[in-house]
């Protein structure tokens, strides 16, 4: 149960770029598995629709099969801890640390790492910055442009590595 929940949480966070608070505040009615999206409420209760891919859907379906066994208080929150209450930020932080250690990742990883990776990977693979801004729920484009500069640096380094004879 725990592994399926953890996998669903981590995959959904990477697949959608939601913030940790947004993830933990999702309820079962915010997920639409028929049309492959989640409804997310960000800061100031602004709502946005975020598509989710087939891998995240598979992980969610697997988790939703075992979720009733831990939902002893009949809560609508999507992600519950093993006591059957809403998953906390601290609980999620421990999950991230656990899996980072299991994967022998030495870099410092936190809840923003998956959001950051979501944005950078979209930009590296050709997504336009306005779409990424909307997916992340940024009001100001400047907040999204940080990810764009990281993506450009990565592309420049790759071009150098592939093109320079002494790279």
Active site residues: 44, 115, 138, 147
In angstroms, the CA 96 to CA 12 distance is 13
Strand order, beta sheet including 31-32:
31-32, 37-41, 47-51
Q: Say if residues 119 and 147 touch (Cβ distance below 8 Å).
A: yes
Q: Say if residues 24 and 8 touch (Cβ distance below 8 Å).
A: no
Assigned token pair, 98: 């656990």
Query: ∠ CA(106), CA(3), CA(38), 5° rounding?
Result: 95
């Amino acid at each position: 149960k725990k592994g399926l929940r953890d996998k669903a949480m981590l995959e959904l966070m990477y697949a959608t770029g939601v913030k940790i608070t947004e993830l933990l505040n999702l309820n079962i009615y915010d997920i639409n598995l028929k049309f492959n999206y989640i409804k997310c409420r960000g800061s100031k209760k602004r709502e946005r629709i975020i598509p989710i891919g087939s891998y995240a859907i598979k992980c969610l379906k697997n988790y939703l099969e075992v979720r009733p066994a831990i939902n002893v208080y009949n809560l609508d929150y999507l992600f519950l801890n093993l006591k059957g209450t809403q998953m906390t930020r601290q609980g999620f932080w421990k999950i991230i640390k656990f899996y980072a250690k299991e994967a022998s990742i030495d870099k410092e990883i936190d809840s923003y790492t998956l959001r950051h990776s979501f944005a950078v990977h979209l930009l590296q693979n050709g997504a336009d910055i306005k779409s990424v801004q909307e997916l992340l729920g940024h009001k100001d484009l400047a907040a999204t442009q940080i990810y764009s500069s990281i993506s450009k640096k990565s592309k420049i380094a790759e071009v150098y590595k592939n093109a320079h004879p002494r790279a």
